[in-house]
Structure formats: structure tokens, C-alpha cells
Amino acid sequence: MAGDLKRIKRHSYVLNAILLFISMIYGAGGLRTTELRIMPRVVQRGRNVTMACLYELQDYGIYSVKWYKGTQEFYRYSPLENPTTRVLPVNGIKVDRLRSNETHVVILRVVASLSGNYSCEVIQNAPSYPHYMASARLDVVGVGGLRATDLRISPPVVQRGNDTTLACLYELTDAPLYSVKWYRGRHEFYRYSPTENPTTKIFPFAGINVDLARSNQSQVVLTRVSFGLSGNFSCEVTADAPSFATSIVSNTMEVVALPPSLPTIQTSQHYYIPGDVLRANCSSGPSRPPPDLAFFINDMPVTPGTHQVHPAPEGLFRSELYVQIQLWPAHYERGAPILRCQSKIGDLYRDDAAVALYSGNSDPKIERVTSPGSASNLQVCQFLLLIHIIVWANNT
């Protein structure tokens, strides 16, 4: 009985996998192209917007079509319900119910806060309710038909000496561009004005090197960045006459230097036996910002001791972590305990160093591999080799 059930389950897995495979080739369960078209995509506030969800069904009918602003649903069409359409309250969205249907939604008198990501989700009336989603962006612009939407910095966290690109995203509908000005803090360093000759202008700022060949009306490339550039950048867009409307967006950039080497571990003794108190330091190589350090014994975190940050040359820092812990027989259950120090800077950098805490000459096989002096400062590849040897030694 249980075996039958298992077999059925396995069959349905296989079936699902085949269906998934087919749907990947032919579009979700016979659903052809889905696209969300917003008309107009950039609109002045107070006007009406029509959104069209374009889909073409093949095998099954529609179960429902759901419309979202971001993650909030604001309109739903379900042919099996009565009434078939439903408006869900979302701040600022006024749906024209009479002109909305299974494929179109009309939003009346849009306000600035309606700028953003919209999606339509088409759910089919088939056994597993296959569904498909399409998204598009609406930008509601103000006076002069202008709105700067984003200052995109890539990468936003950049290594000292590397390049970074700042892209100013803006929408301009009713007038031509007058200028785009770029600031670090309040200091303008680059300007693009299409009506002037030359169209680009650089204002000197200590540490900023603009690569003119790769900069234009929508982006500026900075080369050989230094620590002093970390901070707030802005781009200010101005529309031409008659409005000369302006719009500004900002974002931050951070210049970093990663440690050039693994952290190093120092222990108070060469050998430890259960009952000993282990005192150990872990130090990082020079970097900026200083890394976070953490100790582990046999991969269990050790209660943190003192953490210190020391200045190093060239504006860099070294981190140091000190721990003190009593060693118990349990630490030795699988041979010499492994003390590991992890060095980490956000999601940007991670390195580990590890040492084995031997109990004297009790295991000569291992002592031959790592001479007593170097036993307290091991690097990762040696560490992996060591684990192999420990396993091998335990098995013989």
C-alpha cells in the first residue's frame, strides 16, 4: 500500500517534470506571449493611463487576471465570479471600471506616487492553475514633463583604483534637455549641456577623474577612484524653456580596499590538552573598512572576546580579535580541535585561516607534516591537507 503510494507520487513527480519541460518550450501550459503595455509609459500627472495585458491562450480558459502595483493587487478579472471584475483599494489608484475589462485597465487622473512597477498575472483554468506574469514601469512626471528617477552607481562599492559608472535615469516628455549637472556632495564636477560647445564641461575636484570618452548626457565614468570619493553623488536634470523645471536624484558610493592576505592566528602555546585555557589572537591584513572577525572551534562559534581596530598606513585599518576559552575533552572527540578565524567585509569579502590545536607529540604522524614552529600559523590549503591526514590517521 505504502509502496503503491510512493510509486504514484514518483509518477506524479515525473509527470510534473515533463509538464514543466513542455511548458518551458511552449510557454506556460499553452499560454503564449504575455506582455504588459502601459500607454503612455511616461505621463504627466492628472492624465489617464491605459494598461493592456497582452496574452493569447491556447488550451485552457482564463481563471483570473490579477493586476498589481508593486506587490499590491488593485484589480481582478475572474470570469467565473459575479461580478466578473473587482477593484481592490490601493492608495491613489482610481480605476475606470466602465472602460476596464479582461485585458485592459484604465487608471484615471494619475498622481506622482503611482510611478513604479506594475504587473499583470494571468492564471489559467487548468488543473494546476498555471500562471504567467508580465511587468512594466509607469513614470508619472510633473511640471515640464520632467522627472529624474534614479542615480545608478555600478559598482556602488568599488575597489580603490578601479572605475565606476554613474548613470542618471530621467524621463523628459514635453521639452528638450537643457542640462545635466553632476555633484559629489554639493560640489559640481561634470556638466552636460547640449546647447553649448563643447557640450561637456569638467570642474576640478580633488580625486575625481572623469573619463570624458565614456561620459555623455546620461552617464559619467570615474576612473582611479580614491577613498575621498566615498559619499553622496547627485545628478540634477533641467528641462529647456519655457519651464526650466529641474529634478534631482542622489545615491551613495563607497570606495574600499580588501585585505591582501588571509587573517593570521596566534596562539599562546604550541600544544594544548583538555583542561588548558586557549588564548588566541586573529589579525587581518590592512584594509578599508576593517573586516569583522570571528573565531570558531570545530565550526562552533566562540564567544567573542575583545575586538580592536588599529590604523595602518595609507588610510587603511587592521582588525584584531582576542579570545580566551577553556578546552574540554569534548573538543577532542574527533582529534585535534580546529580553531578557525573568519574575516569578513559585508558581502564583499570573506577569508578564513585555521590551525589545529595538537596535544603535544601524541600523534607523531601529524607532527612530521607540520613542524612545531609553523603549527600555530596555517593557511587554508595546508589545513585541508591536514584534515585528510587526520581522517586517514584516525582510520588506521
Ligand X SMILES: *[C@@H]1O[C@H](CO)[C@@H](O)[C@H](O)[C@H]1NC(C)=O
Please identify, using beta-carbon distances, which residue of 186 and 368 lies nearer to ligand X: 186
The answer to the question of residue 200 lying near ligand X (CB under 6 A) is: no
Residues in Cβ contact with 121 at an 8 Å cutoff, skipping those fewer than 6 apart: 65, 66, 67, 68, 131, 132, 133
Q: Among residue numbers 336 through 355, which ones bind ligand X (CB under 6 A)? A: none
Task: Supply the minimum distance, in Å, between the C-beta of residue 214 and ligand X.
Answer: 6
Q: Quick one: which of 161, 136, 164, 137 has its CA closest to 151?
A: 164
Task: With CB under 6 A as the rule, give the number of residues binding ligand X.
Answer: 34
The answer to the question of residue 152 lying near ligand X (CB under 6 A) is: no
Q: Which residue in 33, 58, 113, 162 binds ligand X (CB under 6 A)?
A: 162
Please identify, using beta-carbon distances, which residue of 71 and 395 lies nearer to ligand X: 71
Please identify, using beta-carbon distances, which residue of 23 and 48 lies nearer to ligand X: 48
Task: Supply the minimum distance, in Å, between the C-beta of residue 22 and ligand X.
Answer: 23
Q: Which residue in 40, 61, 155, 156 binds ligand X (CB under 6 A)?
A: 155
Q: Which residue in 101, 128, 154, 324 binds ligand X (CB under 6 A)?
A: 101
Q: Among residue numbers 132 through 151, which ones bind ligand X (CB under 6 A)? A: 135
Q: Which residue in 179, 234, 238, 247 binds ligand X (CB under 6 A)?
A: 234
Q: Which residue in 85, 173, 217, 359 binds ligand X (CB under 6 A)?
A: 217
Q: Among residue numbers 108 through 127, which ones bind ligand X (CB under 6 A)? A: 108, 117, 119
Task: Supply the minimum distance, in Å, between the C-beta of residue 146 and ligand X.
Answer: 16
Task: Supply the minimum distance, in Å, between the C-beta of residue 249 and ligand X.
Answer: 9
Q: Among residue numbers 272 through 311, which ones bind ligand X (CB under 6 A)? A: 279-281
The answer to the question of residue 250 lying near ligand X (CB under 6 A) is: yes
The answer to the question of residue 173 lying near ligand X (CB under 6 A) is: no
The residue ranges that bind ligand X (CB under 6 A) are 47-48, 71, 96, 99, 101-104, 106, 108, 117, 119, 135, 155, 158-159, 162, 186, 214, 216-219, 232, 234, 250, 266-268, 279-281, 322
